Copies of this chain bind each other. A is one copy, B any other.
Amino acid sequence: MLQISFIPEKEIHRILSAQLSEDVTLRIISAICRVNAFSAVKLAGSGHLGSSFSAMDLFTYLYFHELNVRTVGVEHPDRDIFFSSKGHDCPGQYSVLVAAGIIPYSKLLKLRRFGGLDGHPDVKIPGMEINSGSLGMGISKAKGMAIAKKLSGSSGKIIVMTGDGELQEGQIWESLQTTAHQKVSNIIVLVDRNRIQTDKRVSEIIEIDSLERKFEAFGWHAQTCDGHDFSAIRKAFETAHAVADRPKAIIAETIKGCGISFMEGERALRDSGGLYRWHAGAPDDDSYENGFTELLNTLNSMLKENGIVPVTCAVEKTQEKNRQQLKNVAEKVVAAYGDALVELGAERSDIVVLDADLSADCGVRGFEKAYPCRFIENGIAEQDMVSTAGGLALHGYLPVVNSFGVFLSSRANEQIYANASENTKIIYACHYAGLIPAGPGKSHQSLRDISLFGALPNCIIAEPCNAVETRELVRWCVNKADSTCMIRLVISPSPRTIDLPENYVFEYGKGTVLADGADAAVIAYGPVMLNEALTAQELLAKQGINIKVINMPWLNRIDTDWLVSALGAVRQVFVMDNHFSYGGLGDLILKTVALTPELRSVTVTKCAVDTYPACGTPAEALAHHHLDGKSIASKVLNVVTPV
């Protein structure tokens, strides 16, 4: 059996009450927090360990030496401000905030759970100063805060951590330029320079070196220090504080995954053939046990050296080891997408695939390996990626542009518009579409992408429901579509494979009836919502209510005749959107109903996300937004009475 264990609050208090030199104390706190962050991510089932660990000594130094928040509190107007712009390192920051008594210990056990600690920073969590998770915004936000402090006469310094891969984002350079010009000198940027981004070296993705030189050319004071040496960190901050006339950067050289030997940068890269495995995701059971043992041994050795009794851990969860994971067996539309691209890449030499440092997550590693000359790794620079695609398209190529939907559709929105206005054809793949997985939180859940592409007059938007439909859709977009296409794809493994009927035909503007019934219809798209729709259908069937379930992959074009025929005599229609209520399929059906005389007697009920998406497990998030099968069944029961 696998045990997931934490260092409990009273043990932390015991150790912190020991009289030790500051550096020893900081090292011990850091070691404690590594244990707790590691277990929190294992318990959550996901989270970012690599940069939590590279930044851990910095977090510890900040909260236990540099910042005044443990004294004045995290609400005080004169407090020192610290936040991480990259944000995905929050398991590390949370564990330090727990050790500092700012976040309640009990919350740490609810990382990425509903009502717990969000997968990326959120201001509702004590000590978290901004919402983050989308990169590049931190220095700008810090500047706003620094100006606010100046206007209000509040004291307190402002420190913002960035990643190094994050420096590929253009907004960083905007903010460096404006901050220096506006003479906002009360900011220290702390770069967690761990030299590895999602799963490759920064120098392989997009090199960002000459950092001191760049900061200085942008009018900043810059210096470099060892980000795991507390006296070096202290000295760097002292130097920075002595500079009053400019904003300051400290480049902290760190080791990604620092603290667990097999997760540490260079070794981890060697072990996995140049790919870094520990950026995101929980460790498997064996790695958890090995890593936990190593972290605990490190801590207990330090305690022993300093005459302190070793820690007693608290087991929070015991579970069967090496259970089969859904992700290892279930169908994944993203894999089908990647396979289709590889096939099409052989058929058409004009396809060029672009990626923004999410090659594996976006399923394009296969294409990357098969056609390296037609694969462009563009780093975390979505705007540049999209305009690069625009240039390729103007010169006869068919670019397929990949990123998470939440980033691609919004960060590069104006670039997408400019490209589309040139009437070239580009395929945008918005990955991680929709509510699920809900663990990473609202910076990652893409629920606006349909609306962000919707007003392009020449863009087709669709989401496939399973692997078969994914291949059909990708082939159709490449070979048949006469304009730009946006494909949205869920990233999670399918809870069930959506079975298509034997007579299934993939046709533009038309959907497929998956289950027949006369009492009501549920129209949905994609594996996540169709699974819930079919669950509702099964629940209702037990009560003698038979509903039609319709898969409608086309999200901004609808064949009205098909809809009239597909609905038949059904007048109660529920439309599920894996998207905000505005601008999704529900709106499309509502508009079609209002404009189609034959459908005038249809009553449409929209089922969509109406508030910022919940963070939690899939079941928690779906239930919270009333988009789980049970909620849908109950909505149907409100209007259809069982016989």
Contacts and interface: CB of A to CB of B under 8 A. Distances in A.
Interface of A: 77, 123, 129-132, 134, 136-137, 140-149, 151-152, 154, 168-175, 177-178, 180-182, 206-208, 210, 213-214, 217-219, 352, 373-374, 376, 378-379, 381, 383-397, 399, 406-407, 410-411, 413-415, 417-418, 421-423, 442-443, 447-448, 451-452, 454-457, 556, 579-583, 587, 590-591, 593-595, 600, 604, 610-612
Contacts of A130: 390-391, 394, 418, 422
20 contacts: A77-B395, A123-B423, A130-B390, A130-B394, A130-B422, A140-B390, A140-B415, A144-B395, A145-B391, A168-B177, A168-B178, A170-B383, A175-B388, A177-B208, A207-B219, A214-B214, A214-B217, A413-B413, A413-B452, A457-B610
Contacts of A388: 140-141, 143-144, 147, 175, 178
Nearest to A454: B582
Given A178-B378, A397-B151, A457-B580, A141 B442 contact: no
A144 B390 contact: yes
A207 B148 CA distance: 22
Q: Which of A169, A594, A595 has the most CB of B within 10 A?
A: A594
A97 to B, nearest CB: 18
A384 B590 contact: no
Nearest to A148: B395
Nearest to A423: B123
Residue in A410, A447, A604 whose Cβ sees the most chain B Cβ within 10 Å: A410
Q: DSSP majority for the A interface? A: helix
A391 B141 contact: yes
Contacts of A457: 580, 610-612
Contacts of A141: 387-388, 390-391, 394
Given A452-B413, A580-B457, A604-B595, A394 B129 contact: yes
A579 B415 CA distance: 19
Contact of A148 (B136, B213, B386, B397): B397
Contact of A418 (B137, B177, B383): B137
A208 B218 CA distance: 8
B443 A387 contact: no
Given A143-B391, A556-B582, A443 B422 contact: no
A171 B384 contact: yes
A454 B453 CA distance: 12
Contact of A181 (B140, B207, B213): B207
Given A170-B171, A170-B173, A174-B169, A145 B217 contact: no
A389 to B, nearest CB: 6
Contact of A123 (B168, B394, B595): B394
Best-buried of A131, A208, A218 by chain B (most CB within 10 Å): A131
B182 A376 contact: yes
Contact of A381 (B152, B169, B178): B178
Given A174-B170, A411-B414, A455 B580 contact: yes
A599 to B, nearest CB: 9
Contacts of A392: 144-145, 147-148
Contacts of A595: 590, 604
Across the A-B interface, give the 8 residue pairs with the lowest CB-CB distance, nearest first: A144-B391, A170-B170, A140-B387, A148-B395, A173-B173, A410-B414, A174-B381, A174-B384
Between A145, A169, A417, the greatest number of chain B beta carbons within 10 A of the residue's beta carbon is seen for A417
Contacts of A217: 210, 213-214, 217
Nearest to A203: B181
A214 B171 CA distance: 16
Contacts of A418: 130-132, 134, 137, 443
A414 B356 CA distance: 16
